[in-house]
């Protein structure tokens, strides 16, 4: 009995210490007192896990079958990779076969991620969704009769509305652009509201006048439209292209490519900004990496002290359109959202916007 009390005291102290910095000294002491009161009628015993053996191959076999099922269902390679890496890490951390994992194991995993993992609640919720999808599959396939995720709920996350660019910020960045490729990327992001991965994968054959066929999330196609500035920027950029790459924004052959070093001798670093003018510097079949577009936009923003990234253009376009009277249903469709609740998070509407809308529409 005495040993049990000692283990209980150690556990209470560990809990209090783990929360001390987050909740402060006074709250930590109240937590300690509450734990002593509520655990006074219980005996605690530490579970030994020394004999637990994690069979990595067993988990891998189940994951392989699950990913095949998702592939057949139509998931993209990117989504499949996300499922695979996330679930593999989770089962390795829990150290149990997917067949043996129980709800309590998942609760402990989530709690550890919150306390020790230094990750966001959004990341944890993504892991919960992945586990839910996995165990729904196991249950449907009658591999497991019970789904441990039925007892696990998503963590409530406060969704903060993020800011859009101001008109002044847009014009400042626009004024600093020095090459037609960057200008085309900038104007396309601002006009089409496309995701950065969607911009990267645009093919020349998918541009029809002022509209572009976009392959969106979940293999859902839609059309995006270019305004006059975007259309002009793209045409000016394409006038400088001499290569046969099928993409609107091709990838440059890596600087470390040994086969290209000889031909690049004497070139200044600044000349690489205009690599798209030289067919020998372009990869013949690959498109620009989305990370390159993100880097271009971030660097452009830094030149005028603006925090800029490609996704902010989606929020900006949607916000400006709604302010000028575009119905939110149409805004959602252009963004490629499945429901309006997602669109509403994108919007950066101020009290003045609401007031103006009231004066315009309410009689």
303 belongs to a structural domain: yes
Contacts (Cβ under 8 Å, ≥6 apart) of 361: none
Q: Are 99 and 246 contained in the same domain?
A: no
CA angle centred on 225, ends 219 and 230, rounded to 5°: 125
Q: Are 127 and 209 contained in the same domain?
A: no
244 belongs to a structural domain: yes
Q: Are 208 and 64 contained in the same domain?
A: no
Q: Are 19 and 154 contained in the same domain?
A: no
193 belongs to a structural domain: yes
Task: Give the domain-ending residue among 138, 158, 178.
Answer: 158
34 belongs to a structural domain: yes
pLDDT at 343: 64
Q: Are 4 and 99 contained in the same domain?
A: no
CB 296 within 8 A of CB 176: no
Domain that holds residue 345: 167-353
The CATH number assigned to the domain holding 344 equals 1.10.443.10
177 belongs to a structural domain: yes
d(C-alpha 171, C-alpha 241), whole Å = 26
In 3-state terms, what secondary structure has residue 104? helix
Q: Are 9 and 96 contained in the same domain?
A: no
Q: Are 29 and 64 contained in the same domain?
A: no
CB 343 within 8 A of CB 157: no
Task: Give the domain-ending residue among 158, 175, 199.
Answer: 158
In 3-state terms, what secondary structure has residue 58? helix
Q: For the chain, 363 residues long, give each residue's pLDDT as a single digit of tens.
A: 444 677 778 788 888 887 777 788 888 888 888 888 888 878 777 665 554 566 788 889 999 999 999 988 888 888 899 999 999 999 999 999 999 999 999 999 998 888 876 788 889 999 999 999 999 999 999 999 999 999 998 888 766 667 889 999 999 999 999 999 999 999 999 999 899 999 999 999 999 999 999 988 777 888 999 999 999 999 999 999 999 999 999 999 876 553 454 455 555 555 677 889 999 889 889 999 999 999 999 999 999 999 999 989 988 988 888 777 777 778 777 777 766 666 666 565 555 554 555 355 444
Task: Give the domain-ending residue among 158, 182, 203.
Answer: 158
Contacts (Cβ under 8 Å, ≥6 apart) of 159: 345
Q: Are 118 and 208 contained in the same domain?
A: no
**Residue-wise pLDDT tens digits, 13-38:** 888 887 777 788 888 888 888 888 88
363 belongs to a structural domain: no
**Residue-wise pLDDT tens digits, 68-106:** 999 888 888 888 999 999 999 999 999 999 999 999 999
Tokens coding 261: 């070093």
d(C-alpha 56, C-alpha 189), whole Å = 44
38 belongs to a structural domain: yes
DSSP string covering 311-336 = HHHHHHHHHHHHHTT--HHHHHHHHT
The CATH number assigned to the domain holding 88 equals 1.10.150.130
Comparing CA positions, the residue from 38, 138, 69, 154 lying closest to residue 98 is 138
Comparing CA positions, the residue from 310, 345, 335, 316 lying closest to residue 217 is 335
Q: Are 152 and 173 contained in the same domain?
A: no
Alpha helices in the chain (DSSP H): 2-23, 25-38, 56-73, 77-94, 103-115, 121-140, 167-176, 180-192, 196-200, 228-238, 258-261, 290-302, 311-323, 328-335, 340-346, 351-361
What angle, 0 to 180 degrees and rounded to 10, lies between the N-to-C axes of helices 311-323 and 328-335? 160
Total number of domains in the chain: 3
Q: Are 145 and 195 contained in the same domain?
A: no
Q: How far is CA 95 from the centre of its chain?
A: 27
Q: Are 201 and 300 contained in the same domain?
A: yes
362 belongs to a structural domain: no
CB 251 within 8 A of CB 201: no
CA angle centred on 146, ends 140 and 151, rounded to 5°: 115
Contacts (Cβ under 8 Å, ≥6 apart) of 29: 16
Q: Are 232 and 273 contained in the same domain?
A: yes
CB 218 within 8 A of CB 313: no
What angle, 0 to 180 degrees and rounded to 10, lies between the N-to-C axes of helices 180-192 and 290-302? 100
Burial 12-37 (b: 16+ CB within 10 A, else e): beeebeeeeeeeeeeebeebbeebee
Tokens coding 264: 């690049």
In angstroms and rounded to an integer, the radius of gyration of the C-alpha atoms of the chain is: 27
């Amino acid at each position: 009995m005495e040993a049990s009390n000692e283990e209980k005291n150690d556990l209470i102290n560990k809990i209090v210490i783990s929360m001390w910095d987050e909740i402060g000294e006074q709250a930590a002491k109240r937590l300690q007192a509450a734990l002593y009161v509520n655990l006074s009628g219980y005996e605690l015993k530490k579970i030994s896990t020394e004999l637990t053996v994690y069979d990595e191959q067993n988990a891998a076999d189940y994951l392989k079958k699950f990913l095949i099922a998702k592939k057949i269902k139509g998931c993209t390679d990117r989504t499949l990779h996300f499922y695979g890496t996330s679930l593999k890490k989770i089962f390795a951390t829990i150290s149990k076969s997917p067949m043996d994992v129980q709800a309590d194991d998942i609760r402990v995993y989530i709690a550890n991620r919150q306390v020790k993992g230094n990750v966001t609640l959004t990341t944890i919720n993504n892991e919960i969704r992945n586990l839910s999808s996995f165990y729904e599959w196991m249950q449907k396939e009658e591999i497991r009769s019970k789904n441990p995720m039925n007892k696990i709920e998503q963590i409530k996350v406060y969704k903060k509305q993020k800011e859009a660019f101001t008109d002044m910020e847009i014009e400042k960045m626009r004024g600093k652009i020095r090459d037609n490729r960057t200008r085309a990327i900038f104007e396309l992001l601002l006009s089409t509201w496309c995701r950065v991965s969607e911009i990267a994968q645009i093919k020349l054959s998918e541009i029809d006048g002022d509209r572009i066929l976009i392959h969106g999330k979940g293999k859902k196609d839609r059309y995006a439209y270019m305004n006059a500035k975007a259309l002009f920027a793209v045409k000016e950029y394409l006038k400088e292209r001499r290569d046969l790459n099928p993409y609107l924004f091709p990838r440059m052959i890596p600087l470390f490519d040994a086969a290209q070093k000889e031909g690049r001798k004497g070139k200044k670093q600044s000349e690489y900004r205009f690599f798209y003018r030289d067919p020998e510097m372009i990869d013949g079949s690959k498109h620009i990496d989305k990370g390159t577009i993100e880097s271009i936009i971030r660097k452009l923003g830094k030149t005028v002290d603006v925090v800029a990234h490609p996704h902010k253009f989606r929020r900006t376009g949607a916000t400006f359109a709604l302010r000028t009277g575009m119905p939110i249903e149409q805004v959602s469709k252009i963004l490629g959202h499945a429901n309006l609740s997602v669109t509403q998070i994108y919007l950066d509407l101020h009290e003045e916007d609401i007031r103006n809308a009231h004066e315009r529409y309410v009689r």
